[in-house]
Amino acid sequence: MWESLEHMGWIMILANTGWLYAAVSVIHYFTLFFFIGTIVLVDLRILGIADRNQTLAQLAEQLLPWTWIGFTLAMISGFLLFATDAGDYAPDKVFQAKMLVILLAVVFTVMVQKGVRKWYQLPTVPAGAKLVAFASLVLWVGAILAGVDIAAISGLG
């Protein structure tokens, strides 16, 4: 299945056209920095570190829609990059670990997004909310490191 994906005509054009592959890579990295940056700001606000001039609800309301736009673009561009070498990436344990860490990070980000309104209304942010925000931060850093380590450990990329 993965080899079939890799050999589709439009995927082969992407893989063999240097400027096109580079453009998708730039989009992927830019959207990663963009959406993870918005998540980090909200998580740091929950932890009481960042942007204490705005309420948690105000900051989340401003940033979280952009988070999901960036996430969607990162997933599309990431899939395109994956598809160019799908047969090599799919069975790779480091790549699989990266996908698992991303899935967990998304779950924690959704937990943060769903909890923001409730946490904002409380006199102080609960310790559990801070733990969820901290876990979100750690998981997104882990996803980035796993992505970087694919080439170093597996020789892919």
SS3 143: helix
The answer for residues whose C-beta is within 8 angstroms of residue 85's C-beta and 6 or more apart is 6, 15, 156, 157
Q: How confident is the model at residue 154 (pLDDT cuts 50, 70, 90)?
A: low
90-139 pLDDT, tens digit per residue, is: 888 888 988 999 999 999 999 999 898 888 788 888 999 999 999 999 99
SS3 14: helix
What residue type is 156 in one-letter code?
L
Share of the chain above pLDDT 70, in %: 94
